[in-house]
């Protein structure tokens, strides 16, 4: 285990690519470079609020024991071997080309080499302005930082590909935010998250170089990305093979989101990881009631571009944007188009496999698809609590005596189903019972699959909101409890949280809807 201050950091990205080394933080366009040097801005009184012991053990990082260690996590101290920078990238936001964006409130300090020799980028979110902050201050508030810290780690334990969070630090500064962009800004306590990932490269890094017609830089970035993160891909056709794997990883990622009921909320191309990770936690949410049209992002209204049921189609659209950026590296577009078009088959194949696991089926049979459709019709019509419904389905499958479906699932209902909806449920249950009985695997194997794919605990927005409010009052009990619960989402050890969203949270700011500043 090594301390944050004594570690010799690596800086392969800044040593490989051209950057603006002036350290000038004035917002501006930065053509010809892939990053700009950006030193974090000091904060008043850094205080460690949370530390991921498990992640630290994996990385070989010693828990902060000195003020200097905490200062690293707050951006108040940069060690001699760090080379802090903000990456330059572009993106399509809500379907429209936004041009240069870049790390506006994220600063990568350097790369940490773990005991297994893997390199991890250490990045501070909320550490002050960069050349890409535009009109913003580069800071983050406790509200959004606590949400990102908990959700990054929660998604890891849920088994969803994600960036990680090593620490959460209170800054002692007040930050002004207009939470819903409605002209009512307020001061909120500031905080900084240390984010960790093999890379924070996103689709937008490649889009930026293509848009500026910096083809040599584009080729260099693609080659470096393949050699560094996809070393198994070799040969003359490696760029196409790499893109195909990005397509496959992205399809898998979206299936995993749908499995646990996660809604990203702002799937712009600059928020899409080139490694197939969940990246940039902002106005995210889990679905409470199952609603394909649900979006947690106020900025996404009224069109609901990034709604729960649209995430696969948006991922497909975003991959098209990435493919367009790669066109200069190909003689034609036929192979790229073919790779993109494979997304649909890959997604649905893996989606049906996922559903089969949630239902405890041995495998997917062609005749299962109508039953899947029947289930989803009921879910999207009645809109039961998704997490509770699938837990009750496990109990139904485990039962040895007949159970009346309506009464059995009533705990998951936010409203009473009407007669037509009851019939839909009854028809599904009858089909399901017959299909479950025909499994070629044992009942124990079926139940194990169901328990492994349907979480019993999810960090619901209202729980996060309560934890934020309590922490701002000096009470960390709920926050501490949630930190434990996220580590065992498939167990029943935290059943005090196995509840539907309460009525008071349905329309409360920060619980039902959030903004891009959340």
Six token digits for residue 131: 């050349």
Is 270 one of the catalytic residues? yes
**Strand pairing report for 96-100 and 164-177:** unpaired
Distance of alpha carbon 95 from alpha carbon 119, whole angstroms: 34
Q: Residue 195 pairs with which residues in a beta bridge? A: 123, 165
Q: Residue 15 in contact with residue 119, Cβ under 8 Å?
A: no
Q: Residue 456 in contact with residue 498, Cβ under 8 Å?
A: yes
Distances in whole angstroms, Cα of residue 328 to Cα of each of 99, 137, 206 = 18, 36, 11
Q: Residue 25 pairs with which residues in a beta bridge? A: none
Six token digits for residue 485: 């619960």
Listed residue (225, 151, 196) closest to 60, CA to CA: 196
Indicate which residue of 20, 69, 103, 270 is catalytic: 270
Listed residue (313, 67, 80) closest to 169, CA to CA: 67
Distance of alpha carbon 450 from alpha carbon 452, whole angstroms: 5
Six token digits for residue 267: 């799937």
Distance of alpha carbon 73 from alpha carbon 47, whole angstroms: 9
Residues of the chain by 3-state class (helix, strand, coil), percent to 5: 45, 15, 40
Q: DSSP state, 273?
A: B
27 phi/psi in degrees, rounded to 5? -60, 130
Distance of alpha carbon 419 from alpha carbon 421, whole angstroms: 5
Six token digits for residue 492: 């029943």
Give one DSSP letter per residue of 446-500, joined into a string: HHHHHHHHS-S----HHHHHHHHHHHHTT--HHHHHHHHHTT-TTSSTTGGG-SP
The Cβ of residue 171 has, within 10 Å, a number of other Cβ atoms equal to 27
**Strand pairing report for 119-125 and 186-197:** antiparallel
Q: Quote the crossing angle between the two packed helices 334-358 and 238-260, to the nearest 10°.
A: 30
Q: Cα–Cα–Cα angle for 258, 253, 433, nearest 5°? A: 40
Beta strands in 32-104 (DSSP E): 35-37, 47-51, 85-87, 90-93, 96-100
Q: Residue 339 in contact with residue 323, Cβ under 8 Å?
A: yes
Listed residue (179, 151, 175, 185) closest to 165, CA to CA: 151
Active site residues: 270
């Amino acid at each position: 285990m090594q301390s944050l201050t004594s570690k010799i950091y690596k800086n392969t990205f800044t040593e490989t690519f051209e950057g603006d080394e002036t350290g000038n933080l004035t917002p501006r366009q930065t053509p010809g470079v892939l990053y700009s040097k950006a030193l974090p801005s000091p904060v008043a009184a850094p205080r460690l609020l949370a530390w991921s012991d498990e992640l630290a053990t994996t990385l070989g990082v010693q828990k902060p024991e000195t003020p200097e260690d905490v200062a690293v996590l707050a951006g108040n101290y940069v060690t001699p071997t760090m080379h802090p920078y903000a990456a330059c990238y572009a993106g399509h936001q809500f379907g429209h080309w936004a041009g240069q964006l870049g790390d506006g409130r994220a600063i990568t300090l350097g790369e940490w080499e773990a005991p297994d020799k893997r390199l991890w980028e250490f990045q501070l979110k909320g550490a002050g302005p960069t050349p890409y902050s535009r009109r913003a201050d580069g800071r983050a508030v406790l509200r959004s930082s606590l949400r990102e810290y908990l959700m990054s780690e929660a998604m890891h334990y849920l088994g969803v590909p994600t960036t990680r969070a090593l620490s959460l630090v209170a800054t002692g500064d007040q930050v002004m935010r207009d939470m819903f962009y409605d002209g009512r800004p307020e001061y909120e306590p500031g905080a900084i998250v240390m984010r960790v990932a093999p890379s924070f490269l996103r689709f937008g890094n490649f889009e930026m170089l293509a848009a500026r017609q910096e083809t040599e830089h584009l080729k260099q970035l693609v080659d470096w990305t393949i050699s560094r993160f996809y070393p198994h891909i070799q040969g003359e056709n490696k760029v196409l093979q790499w893109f195909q794997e990005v397509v496959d990883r992205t399809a898998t990622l979206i299936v995993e989101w749908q499995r646990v009921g996660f809604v990203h909320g702002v799937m712009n191309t600059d928020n899409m990881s080139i490694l197939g990770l969940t990246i940039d936690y902002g106005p995210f949410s889990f679905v409470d009631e199952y609603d394909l049209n649900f979006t947690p992002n106020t900025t996404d209204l009224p069109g609901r571009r990034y709604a729960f049921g649209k995430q696969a189609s948006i991922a497909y659209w975003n991959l098209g944007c990435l493919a367009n950026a790669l066109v200069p590296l190909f003689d034609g577009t036929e192979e790229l188009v073919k790779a993109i078009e494979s997304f649909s088959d890959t997604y649905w194949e893996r989606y049906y496999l996922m559903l089969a696991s949630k239902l405890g089926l041995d495998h997917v049979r062609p005749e299962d698809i109508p039953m899947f459709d029947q289930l989803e019709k009921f879910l999207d019509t009645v809109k039961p609590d998704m997490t509770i419904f699938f837990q009750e389905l496990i109990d139904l499958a485990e039962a040895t005596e007949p159970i009346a479906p309506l009464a059995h699932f009533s705990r998951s209902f936010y409203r009473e189903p009407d007669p037509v909806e009851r019939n839909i449920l009854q028809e599904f249950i009858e089909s399901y019972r017959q299909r479950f009985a025909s499994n070629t695997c044992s009942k124990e194997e079926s139940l194990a699959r169901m328990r492994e794919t349907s979480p019993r605990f999810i960090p619901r927005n209202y729980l996060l909101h309560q934890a934020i409010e309590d922490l701002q009052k000096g009470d960390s009990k709920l926050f501490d409890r949630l930190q434990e619960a996220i580590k065992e989402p498939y167990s029943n050890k935290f059943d005090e949280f196995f509840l539907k969203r309460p009525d008071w949270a349905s329309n409360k700011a920060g619980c039902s809807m959030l903004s891009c500043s959340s």
